[in-house]
Amino acid sequence: MIIVVKNTYKIYYIVFFLALFFSKAIAEPTFVQSKSLDSNFYLGLNFNNDGTKMYTVNAGASDAVIEHILTTPYDISTAIVNNTFGVSRGGDTQATQVVFNNDGTKMFIVNHGNQKEIDYWSLTTAFDISTATHDGAFSISGQEARANSVAFNNDGTRMFVVGAGNMSQHRIHEYSLDTPYDLSSTVTHLNTEDLSSSHNYLDGITFNYNGTKMFIINSNQDRISQFKLTTPYDASTLSLEGNFDVSSHDIQPREMAFSNDGSKMFFIGDKNDKVFEFNLSCNWSVIDGACDDPITTSDGGKDILSSIESQTATAKQIVIHATTPVLNRMYWLRRHRANDKLSNQNIKFNFSNSMMASLSKVVPVSNKTNDVLDKLSDNWSFWSEGSVSIGKTGDTSTSSSKDISSKGITIGMDKKISKNKLYGYALRLGRDRVDVGSSGSWLDTTSNSLSFYGTFPQDDERFIEGILGIGTLKTDTLRKTTTNYHAGERDGAQVFGSINYFTIYEKEKFNFAPNLRIDLSYTELSKYRETGSTALVYKNQIIETGMISTGFTVSDVLDFDSLTFKPNGGLEIGLDFSPSSDATYRYLSETTEYTKSIDQDSKNIRANIGFDLITEDGLSIMTIYERNQSDNSHSDTLYLGFGYIPDDNSEYALTFDNDKASLNYNRDLNGFDIKMSSNYNFMGEIPDYGANLEISNKF
């Protein structure tokens, strides 16, 4: 038995070290496929912005750029020749590379031959080489005897040319352009980086999306060299990270290209006249070793950071959305504290979600029997409030913009103990949507919360309001890049609380109430992983929030013959003292973790204006428009609540069946039975609502 155990452990260790070895090996590019070209002497390779077109350069007799259509983006097996455009201008042209400006309206051809130039062309149709017109040529003869490849930085103000002055000189030349992508403007040679001591015959040059990595093809040594640049697009700060040997595919590599998100690498070989496609386990990395932080090395890095920020901010906003309707309710009660019956509603729940079903059981409800709406006890008052919110957070240098929308319904009940003292609880269902950037990434969060609240008077003018709540949330995520969709699903749980102290000053029907409020919350988001070839894995994230706010509310009463109108408003200034929240993540294929600290502290201004409308038969309508402005974001929210104090001739009920709500109202009016009903799917993407009216009488 002991021997078996020992052997088992030996096997375990062998498997463990083999796993380590092979996990390291798969960090290198994974060969996918190759595409044979229709003739020989191919030197150049590039793609348009979305990978639906591929361009190769034939430096042979045709001396032309060949445009291929890819029916599947960045899938070279789907490439079909669409156009061939000759770029020879007489003499020894020998074109070796083609590049474009960002919008595809300019094309640049490297003239490898005796002319020692970079030819530039205008395209009347973006990325359509058949519409190209030659504009001029920029000579590099002062720096280099022979040019092989050219690249630009992401705004076109820097140009890089690699060449071979002779067989012993292998250099990178850096130029500045006064006008982006305009070689007819002032172009200044900045510096030369000589790689002759370590590299033999430089052919291709390209950068990752932000210039922190540079890639060079060393054609005589059959390898692709990867460099790190400590200063983006500054070749003088380069340091070699490693090399990727391509000799098993082609012994004369010439040019390389990447997909826009850096998850695929391609190179073209002169010996076999093929294009080779590779998947990268680490975006923008062709060498062994740990991946770099995807936020800084992926062209979707801004979306990744924005998604992390959005999940953090959404957890915070859900707490605000859960507490604000309760605060609105208590504010409404203060304006109507002289009434005994306050928004009495007949509410029925039916939820398929087990958690929501269990939460809803704490709310005493009446059931409909034979379409007769039973009325609840006068001891409890019921209320509901719906909200719709839209907002936006602006783009920054590191994070994409965010378009935010939210909607929800809150149902509550409370019981008056005295004129100014009450307690109750509220149930909220919400949905928050964040559209990230412009690539199609998004987050969709559904939330449920249960809040307990109460008002505790110190005397007739001074009050303390308290809220204590719990909640759950579920977030579906989609991160879209040029070549991949990365989907994920994440759960979360929350606890939150709020204490509000205020003093009421009344003069006749005018009311002024300054306040001081503290809001606290604790949220834990579960770990989750994305789908896709370059998926990210996220660890648990803790989000703690704290806010102190001070401001005031005002209200007035205007009485009319058949209704009462109560305008109201408020202003608050808040100081967010929430600590930063750390999000930890890694590539699925790697073990190295990265941590991003999300700052939450900010200053906020919240202003609102609204009114209460109360009819003579007891129907109450409450609406509030609220504007919330912080450092780099804002939101606009509309709250709408209905209440009704029934009399002997009317019946009222509100039913919630999963995501659908229905309202029923019956009234006996001078012997006529009036029945009104409506329904609304408040959580659906597409509005779904309807209404019905019946009038009947017995003769």
The whole-model pTM stands at 0.65
Residue-wise pLDDT tens digits, 419-448: 778 899 898 989 999 999 888 899 999 999
CA distance 223 to 228: 17
Of 178-187, 601-610, 688-697, the range with the lowest mean pLDDT is 688-697
Of 195, 197, 192, 232, the C-alpha closest to 216 is 195
Q: How far is 531 from 488, CA to CA, in rounded Å?
A: 7
In which band, very low, low, confident or very high, does the pLDDT at 171 lie, cut at 50, 70 and 90?
A: confident
C-alpha dihedral (354, 355, 361, 363), degrees to nearest 10: -140
CB 472 within 8 Å of CB 493: yes
Q: Looking up tokens 């957070």, which residue turns up?
A: 393
CA distances from 515 to 42, 316, 467, 555 (A): 75, 22, 15, 14
Return the SS3 of 76. Answer: helix
What does the pLDDT read at residue 167? 60
Q: What whole-number distance in Å separates Cα of residue 41 and Cα of residue 64?
A: 11
Contacts 24+ apart (CB under 8 A), 171-180: 171/144, 171/195, 171/196, 171/202, 172/202, 172/205, 172/216, 172/235, 173/140, 173/143, 173/144, 174/234, 174/235, 174/236, 180/101, 180/155, 180/156
H helix or E strand, kind and range, residue 405: strand 402-416
Helix, strand, coil share (%) of the chain residues, nearest 5 = 10, 55, 35
Segment 312-351, tens digit of pLDDT: 999 999 999 999 999 988 888 877 766 655 554 544 545 4
Is there a contact between 590 and 290 (Cβ–Cβ < 8 Å)?
yes
pLDDT at 503: 92
**606 with 593: CB under 8 angstroms?**
no
Question: CB within 8 A of 473, min separation 6: which ones?
Answer: 314, 315, 318, 445, 446, 447, 448, 491, 492, 493, 494, 523
* 60 and 39 Cβ atoms separated by less than 8 Å: yes
Residue type for position 478: L
Position 282, amino acid: C
Per-residue pLDDT of 11-34, as tens digits, reads 444 443 334 333 333 457 889 999
Q: What confidence score (pLDDT) does residue 660 get?
A: 62
pLDDT reading at 374 higher than 60 = no
Question: Which range, 84-88, 231-235, 393-397, 672-676, is most confident?
Answer: 231-235
Handedness of CA 396, 399, 401, 406 (dihedral sign): negative
Q: How far apart are CA 645 and CA 636, in angstroms?
A: 30
| Better pLDDT: 127 or 198 | 127
Instruction: Identify the DSSP state of 369.
Output: B
Q: How far is CA 427 from the centre of its chain?
A: 28
